[in-house]
Every structure is written in structure tokens, then in C-alpha cells.
């Protein structure tokens, strides 16, 4: 199994003294592209299918539900980057532009895994005859293929690659993720969606300084909203984290109790991390918890476009014929990224930090208040755009929530992780990369 291989690779890794939020003071990656060298296709591309139950109303967005969030537009003029497995343009994804690819000579507008296309569909699919729609169908999608679980490097000795030793199947590394973020910013992204997660046991040191530098380049230097999936327990993310801070410990922030670290989700001050909820709004069992979880969105039994960017689907079909529902925090993240695009369109004067604060402060909170399962609560696109916080749907509250000023948080010390899978319940869409170096080299080596 994937996790077993990763654990074996990490057994001799250095151990950090204490877990703290990671720093963003690393070097900004060079604009060198994502070319991973010669690759081969390991089996047929994944497809999608529709097994829609007409008697079940899915938690996916509909035009009727989103009408209140579209009072200023449907995201027109906003550019949202999808860093994933690529995006296949199609009738319901007509505005897709490529900006990078691990495959030599390609531009990111191909997707053999179906994952990136499904993510883009949740975010930006145009309305179909049934009323199904992406959250922000007017945005332009910038697609960057930085990972794949069906592509394999041709070289047998992968330990000599430019991004360090790798384990597991597929392509994609923390270093290539950092370069993809740089490419997305340089392509003009206002919002970046990252439905990929690197997970390791807490205390493991990961050389992700370049990723921190890329996050600073996007969020701080260029005012881009970064949205990331929280990750799924049972894919490449191991044990579940506690759901809340220990009430018996005064001032406990929860970081000391973390057992599984997820990156880039744990870059708490600069990344809007999205957990998953089920159709009833309860935290999804598979959604990785943590003190870095900011908000939550639907993640179970969703609908999106088909793998060809057309129609509708709710199932992914692998090369062996196995079927997996469109479920996972991978698909919660684009719901929130689409919301961020709508907020940026409606309120162009807000900074990225203020957009994030507005989304958090207008979310529908859990009954017990802020926790590590859903953060501030379930994102409400209508409330985020209008500024009117709703206690529950459909009855609105009467208190307007203004976006608070962006207050810079204190930088944390860097600590370790490894790259793992696309954060979805499609467990076969996984990439695992182990990049371990001593902490002393954190600021000098990518």
C-alpha cells in the first residue's frame, strides 16, 4: 500500500522538536517550467459516468441556490488557476487556458486522470438544462498539470531526478507544486485552487522551503487567494487528528496534538484550507482535521462535468472498470475557490487576506463553534458575496458581516512533510514524494 511505502521511507528521517505553523521565508522557485522528462502512460485514461438518482438532491451547486451569489456576476473577469492533473476543455468548460504541464510539449489542457476536470467542473461548469452549475461559471480557468497517477517516468532510477527521491506511483513533487504556483501567479491568477495534499506523520522534517517561498510569492507578493483541500484520511494521509483543542489545557492551540501533517494545507496564515462535509452538513469522516482547517464545503456524492468537459457525472471509472463516487475534499476546495472568485468580482477593493476573512466570517458555524473539523463552518457563497451571515438555510440572519482588515500573522518555523495524494476519495489518484533534508538546509536548498 502507498502509506506503507511512505512510512518505510520516513523511518530514518530527522524529527522536529515541536510542531509549529510553517514559515514562508524560503526561496521563490525559478520560472523554469514543470517538464518532468520522458513519461509513459500506465494504462488507459480514466473516464466518468452518470448514475444520477432523480430522487436524491445532490449537495452540488445549482443555479437556483447560487442566484443570490450572482447578483454582481458569475465570476467574469476573474482568473482561477487549477493546479491538478490538467483540465479537458469542453462545452461546459469553454474558458480554459493552459499555463504549464509536466508532459513535455503540452500546456495543461489535457487530463488523463479526470480529477482536474472534475475539480474545474465544481468550480466553473456552465449551467446545464437541469440547472446544475459550477459556483463561478463566468471565470477563466488557468490549468496547470503538475501531477498524475496514470503517468510514469520512463527512467528507472527516479532517485536522481531534479526534485529528489520519490516513492509511490505517478508524477508530481512538492518542488513541482511550488513551480506550478509560481506559474499560476505569472499567468495572472486571482485565485489558485490546489486539490492536492502532502501528508506525513507529525514531527517528520520535510524540505518544503521552496513551497513556502511560492506561497509567499502568491499570497503576499501578488495578493492571490490560495485555496487548498484539507486531505483525506485513508488515502495517503494516515491517522486522523483531534477534532478540537484540549479544553483542559489553557491556551491550547491544537498544534501539539497533531499526528498527521498536510501540506500545503498547514500553511495556515496564507492558505484557505477546506475540509469536507456530507449532505447533511456534518463533518465527513474521511476529511482530515487539524488546527489549520479554516472552512468546510460539500464533499460527498457530488456532481460535476464529465471527463470530456461536457454533460454531468457523479462517478469516476478507472481503467479496470472500478467505479468511485465523486467524493473527497478535492471537490470541496473548488466550491470555496469559486466563492472566492465571486467575492473578488463583487468587492474588487478587498485584499486576498480580506477575501479569506470574509468567507470565514460568513460561513455557517458548527453548533459548538470553531473546531478543527470544519473550522469557521460551512461556506455560504451567498453570504460571502452579500455580507449577510445566515444562521442556517434558507432563513437569513439580519447581521451584516464586514470583512475585517488583514492582520499579518506571525511567521512560524518550518517543519516536515512529504508529498502525497490528490485529496479525494478517489484513492488511486495519488502521488507520493519524499523530500527529506536536514533542517539546517531549509533556506538554501529547494
Catalytic residues: 84, 115, 330
Q: Are 230 and 287 in contact (CB under 8 A)?
A: yes
Q: Are 214 and 169 in contact (CB under 8 A)?
A: no
**Residue 237 main-chain phi, psi, to 5 deg:** -85, 130
C-alpha neighbours within 13 Å on the C-beta side of residue 236: 32
**Closest residue by Cα to residue 187 from 304, 323, 42, 81:** 81
Q: Which residue do the cell numbers 528507472 mark?
A: 156
C-alpha neighbours within 13 Å on the C-beta side of residue 408: 10
Longest dimension (CA), the chain: 62
Q: In what order do the strands lie in the sheet with 96-101?
A: 96-101, 140-145, 79-84, 191-194, 225-229, 272-277, 295-298
CA distances to 272, 275, 411, 420, 425 from 296, in Å:
10, 4, 24, 21, 16
74 vs 112: CA distance, rounded Å = 28
Q: How many residues does the chain have?
A: 446
Q: Are 353 and 343 in contact (CB under 8 A)?
A: no
Q: Does residue 264 have a cis bond before it (omega within 30 degrees)?
A: yes
239 vs 332: CA distance, rounded Å = 20
418 vs 198: CA distance, rounded Å = 5
Q: Are 423 and 229 in contact (CB under 8 A)?
A: yes
Q: Are 410 and 268 in contact (CB under 8 A)?
A: no
Torsion angle in degrees (nearest 10) through CA of 153, 159, 165, 167: 50
395 vs 281: CA distance, rounded Å = 16
Q: Does residue 304 have a cis bond before it (omega within 30 degrees)?
A: no
Amino acid at each position: 500500500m502507498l502509506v506503507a511505502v511512505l512510512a518505510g521511507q520516513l523511518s530514518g528521517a530527522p524529527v522536529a522538536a515541536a510542531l509549529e505553523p510553517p514559515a514562508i521565508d524560503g526561496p521563490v522557485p525559478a520560472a523554469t517550467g514543470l517538464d518532468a522528462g520522458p513519461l509513459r502512460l500506465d494504462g488507459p485514461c480514466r473516464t466518468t459516468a452518470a448514475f444520477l438518482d432523480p430522487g436524491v438532491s445532490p449537495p452540488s451547486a445549482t443555479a437556483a441556490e447560487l442566484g443570490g451569489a450572482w447578483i454582481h456576476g458569475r465570476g467574469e473577469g476573474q482568473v482561477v488557476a487549477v493546479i491538478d492533473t490538467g483540465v479537458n476543455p469542453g462545452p461546459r468548460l469553454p474558458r480554459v487556458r493552459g499555463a504549464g504541464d509536466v508532459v513535455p510539449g503540452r500546456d495543461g489542457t489535457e487530463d488523463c486522470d479526470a480529477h482536474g476536470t472534475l475539480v474545474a467542473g465544481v468550480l466553473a461548469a456552465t449551467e446545464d438544462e437541469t440547472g446544475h452549475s459550477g459556483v463561478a461559471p463566468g471565470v477563466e480557468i488557468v490549468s496547470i498539470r503538475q501531477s498524475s497517477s496514470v503517468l510514469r517516468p520512463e527512467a528507472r532510477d527516479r532517485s536522481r531526478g531534479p526534485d529528489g527521491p520519490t516513492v509511490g506511483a505517478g508524477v508530481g513533487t512538492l518542488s513541482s507544486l511550488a513551480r506550478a504556483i509560481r506559474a499560476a501567479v505569472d499567468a495572472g491568477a486571482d485565485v489558485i485552487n490546489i486539490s492536492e495534499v502532502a501528508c506525513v506523520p507529525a514531527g517528520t522534517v520535510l524540505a518544503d522551503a521552496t513551497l513556502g517561498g511560492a506561497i509567499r510569492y502568491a499570497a503576499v507578493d501578488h495578493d492571490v487567494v490560495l485555496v487548498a483541500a484539507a486531505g483525506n484520511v485513508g488515502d495517503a494521509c494516515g491517522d486522523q487528528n483531534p477534532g478540537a483543542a484540549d479544553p483542559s489545557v489553557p491556551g491550547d492551540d491544537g498544534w501539539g496534538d497533531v499526528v498527521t501533517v498536510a501540506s500545503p494545507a498547514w500553511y495556515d496564515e496564507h492558505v484557505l484550507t477546506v475540509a469536507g462535509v456530507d449532505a447533511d452538513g456534518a463533518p465527513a469522516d474521511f476529511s482530515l482535521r487539524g488546527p489549520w482547517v479554516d472552512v468546510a464545503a460539500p464533499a460527498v456524492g457530488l456532481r460535476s462535468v464529465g471527463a470530456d468537459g461536457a454533460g454531468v457525472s457523479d462517478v469516476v471509472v478507472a481503467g479496470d472498470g472500478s467505479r468511485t463516487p465523486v467524493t473527497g475534499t478535492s471537490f470541496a476546495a473548488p466550491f470555496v475557490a469559486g466563492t472566492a472568485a465571486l467575492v473578488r468580482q463583487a468587492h474588487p477593493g478587498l485584499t486576498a487576506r480580506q477575501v479569506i476573512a470574509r468567507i470565514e466570517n460568513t460561513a455557517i458555524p458548527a453548533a459548538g463553534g470553531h473546531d478543527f473539523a470544519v473550522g469557521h463552518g460551512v461556506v455560504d457563497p451567498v453570504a460571502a458575496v452579500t455580507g449577510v451571515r445566515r444562521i442556517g438555510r434558507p432563513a437569513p440572519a439580519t447581521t451584516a458581516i464586514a470583512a475585517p482588515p488583514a492582520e499579518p500573522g506571525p511567521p512560524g518555523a518550518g517543519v516536515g512533510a512529504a508529498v502525497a495524494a490528490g485529496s479525494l476519495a478517489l484513492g488511486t489518484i495519488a502521488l507520493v514524494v519524499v523530500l527529506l533534508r536536514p533542517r539546517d538546509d531549509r533556506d538554501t536548498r529547494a
